[in-house]
Amino acid sequence: MLFSTVFKCINIHLSHITMAVILKYRLIVFSILVIGCNSSTTPADKPAPPLKTQHNVSEDVIQSEIKKFQTRSKSLVGTSYPFLKLLSKEAGIPGSVFEQRVVILNFSFANCKPCILELEGISLLYNKLKDNKNVLFLSITPDDDSTVNAFVKQHDLPYMPVSVERDIGNKLNFESGYPTNLILKRGTIKRVCSGGFPTKQQSTNFFMGSFLATIEDLLDSM
């Protein structure tokens, strides 16, 4: 799947990426292996097997960019989320709400296949937590309102994504690509997960397992 837009649609698992966009080199690199989900409790990265690409890009260059991506994601954990005012404005939610709750931020768009594979797990997660007054769930998308409405109807989503301008969405998720999921607690970043999984079942297991466990641990300490 190759987009003419500047989206980074990254399908990341402990051992898989179906696509990554390395903007520094302005190259599209396919079938890269990397770990993309980071938190204070995430295990150490597993070594990646040899890379195979459809472009004349050295493995050293790709591994270097992967390490930079991983380091940046890990460095965000424990820091204050810097875009609360912008997020508050775009979502139409008072900033004080973000500072009082555990916030789940989901970034996706309709034509992103890894995003679609997450829908079942994200929906189950949303339904499990939607009645908890200490949780705020927001799905952010660069799609326009008509695309969002059609997407929600097509996939029978229990939540309505918030449509924002593309550059704003990219800013809110630290230019980390799609899908990206963040967990905040009272404005502090607790987990960053950029990417998806090879199968819907793996994605669902992740969101209802490790990802949910992180949220529940944070709620226990509220």
- For 25-50, how does the pLDDT look when each residue is reduced to its tens digit (9 = 90+)? 333 332 332 333 444 333 333 333 44
Is 61 a domain residue? no
Is 126 a domain residue? yes
- Say how far apart CA 75 and CA 98 lie, in whole Å: 21
Q: What is the CATH number of the domain that holds 34?
A: 3.40.30.10
- Say how far apart CA 154 and CA 149 lie, in whole Å: 9
Is 15 a domain residue? yes
How crowded is residue 42: how many other Cβ atoms within 10 Å of its Cβ? 18
- Say how far apart CA 170 and CA 6 lie, in whole Å: 10
Is 129 a domain residue? yes
Structural domain including 21 reads 1-56+75-222
Residue 156 has pLDDT above 70, yes or no: yes
- How much is the pTM? 0.74
Residue 221 has pLDDT above 70, yes or no: yes
Tokens (6 digits) for 41: 């409790």
Residue 85 has pLDDT above 80, yes or no: yes
Is 184 a domain residue? yes
Tokens (6 digits) for 179: 């899908």
Cβ neighbours of residue 219 under 8 Å, at least 6 residues apart? 102, 132, 134, 135
Mean pLDDT of 216-222: 94
Mean pLDDT of 200-206: 95
Bridge partners of 138, per DSSP, are: 105
Is 190 a domain residue? yes
Is 66 a domain residue? no
Number of domains in the chain: 1
Is 140 a domain residue? yes
